[in-house]
Amino acid sequence: MAGYDLHIHSSYSDGTLTPAELVEHAVEIGLDGIALTDHDSVDGIPEAIRAARKKNLQLIPGVEITTDYGNQEAHILGYGIDYRHPELTAKFETIMAARIDRARQMVEKLKRHGIPITWEMVEKQSNGRFIGRPHIFKALIAMDLVHPAYRRQSFEHYLGQNGLAYVPHQEIETGEAIQLILKAGGIPVLAHPGRQGNQLFIEKLIDYGLKGLEVYYPAHDSGMVKQLLDIAERYHLYVTGGSDFHGDLGHGQMGEAVVTEIGWDKG
Ligand code: AMP
Ligand code: MN
Ligand code: MN
Ligand code: MN
């Protein structure tokens, strides 16, 4: 399978594979390159670059920032960023601390609903310092509180936006994230616009400096792809694509959505 899968998570956020394992898998299935796009973290990039160099795979340093747009959530991908950029790394440190605080609040809410979960149980589910809803969910699974046939419903019940224990993100606004990626020399791209990518919303993000749309994505049907291609052409936006692979956490498979070339200068 040729092409580039530009949306992949590692164990440095909420994926299950390490960057080196991701590189190995990408080579196995014949991809030309991948972008590592962990949530709000660039910690896995040095390891990914080293592994990719050994295996002759192209590795695009990336990130997926969870942002607030009013009371909506928008995910902004950043490609080709200088992952050592001081303002970027400082902001990610602040976000990491806020994320942990938020995760603790969700655990407390679960406790108030009578679920005997502890913070230690949740921490055990993470390979690093990043904690998100998937780690809390894995702790619930480990406690046998989730019926295997109803995983999605259970996630929504406990941790979905209208779930028992949900706490919204309040880490960074969409415009600030786009500007930060630009400052770090990266290309800001709206992730999975099928979730909320109406044209008016995309126009607002272009005003902040958005440069691309993730057109190819497992959940986008051909009608959505066509609509997004039209918008990308109209506003001269880059067209990207990726699987949102998380390892065994039940998202897409690596290579399920790819682009055959990368539109911007990789430098
Ligand atoms: P957070 O960043 O802490 O808000 O957690 C969001 C992450 O949870 C997403 O990036 C997905 O990896 C995962 N996720 C979201 N919805 C579901 C779901 N219904 N089932 C399983 N995992 C989910
Ligand atoms: Mn995730
Ligand atoms: Mn996302
Ligand atoms: Mn993602």
Q: What is the pLDDT of residues 195-209, one digit of tens each?
A: 986 899 999 999 999
Q: Please indicate, yes or no, whether residues 107 and 72 belong to a single structural domain of this protein.
A: no
Q: Is residue 187 part of a domain?
A: yes
In whole angstroms, give the CA distance from residue 128 to residue 148.
Answer: 26
Q: What is the pLDDT of residues 125-177, one digit of tens each?
A: 999 999 999 999 999 999 999 999 999 999 999 999 999 999 999 999 999 99
Q: Please indicate, yes or no, whether residues 81 and 100 belong to a single structural domain of this protein.
A: no
Q: What is the CATH number of the domain that holds 59?
A: 3.20.20.140
| pTM for this entry | 0.97
Report CA 258 to chain centroid distance, whole Å: 16
Rounded distance from Cα 226 to ligand 2 centre (Å): 26
Provide the domain count of the chain: 2
What is the biggest distance separating any 2 CA atoms in the chain, rounded to whole angstroms? 54
Q: What is the pLDDT of residues 92-119, one digit of tens each?
A: 999 999 999 999 999 999 999 999 999 9
Phi, psi torsion values for 220, nearest 5 degrees: -90, 120
Q: What are the contacts of 103-109 at 24+ separation with CB within 8 A?
A: 103/131, 103/132, 103/133, 103/135, 103/136, 105/167, 106/133, 106/136, 106/159, 106/165, 106/166, 106/167, 107/136, 107/165, 109/164, 109/165, 109/166, 109/167
**Residues measured by CB to lie within 5 Å of ligand 3, the ion:** 75, 191
- For residue 111, what are the domain limits? 93-159
Q: Is residue 222 part of a domain?
A: yes
Q: Is residue 34 part of a domain?
A: yes
Q: Is residue 166 part of a domain?
A: no
Atom of ligand 1 nearest to the CA of 156: 19
Q: Please indicate, yes or no, whether residues 141 and 225 belong to a single structural domain of this protein.
A: no
Q: Is residue 123 part of a domain?
A: yes
Q: Please indicate, yes or no, whether residues 151 and 21 belong to a single structural domain of this protein.
A: no
Half-sphere exposure of 26 (CA within 13 A, CB side): 37
Q: Is residue 198 part of a domain?
A: yes
Ligand 1: does its nearest atom lie under 6 Å from the Cβ of 9? no
Q: Is residue 75 part of a domain?
A: yes
Q: Reduced to 3 states, what is the DSSP secondary structure of residue 253?
A: coil
Instruction: For residue 145, give the nearest of 117, 125, 107 by alpha carbon.
Output: 117
Rounded distance from Cα 252 to ligand 4 centre (Å): 10
Q: What is the CATH number of the domain that holds 108?
A: 1.10.150
Q: Please indicate, yes or no, whether residues 123 and 23 belong to a single structural domain of this protein.
A: no
Rounded distance from Cα 237 to ligand 1 centre (Å): 27
In whole angstroms, give the CA distance from residue 222 to residue 203.
Answer: 22
Q: Please indicate, yes or no, whether residues 9 and 66 belong to a single structural domain of this protein.
A: yes
- Look at residue 41 in the predicted model and tell me its pLDDT: 98
Q: Which residue CA neighbors atom 20 of ligand 1 most closely?
A: 152
Task: With a cut of 80, say whether residue 246 has pLDDT above it.
Answer: yes
* Residue where a domain terminates, one of 159, 181, 206: 159
Burial class of 121 by CB neighbour count within 10 A (0 to 12, 13 to 18, 19+): middle
Contacts with 49 (C-beta within 8 Å, 6 or more apart), sequence order: 59, 61
Q: Please indicate, yes or no, whether residues 9 and 71 belong to a single structural domain of this protein.
A: yes
Phi, psi torsion values for 190, nearest 5 degrees: -75, 120
Q: Please indicate, yes or no, whether residues 155 and 179 belong to a single structural domain of this protein.
A: no
Q: Please indicate, yes or no, whether residues 194 and 247 belong to a single structural domain of this protein.
A: yes
76-85, 184-193, 204-213, 240-249: range with lowest mean pLDDT = 240-249
Q: Is residue 259 part of a domain?
A: yes
Q: Please indicate, yes or no, whether residues 76 and 32 belong to a single structural domain of this protein.
A: yes
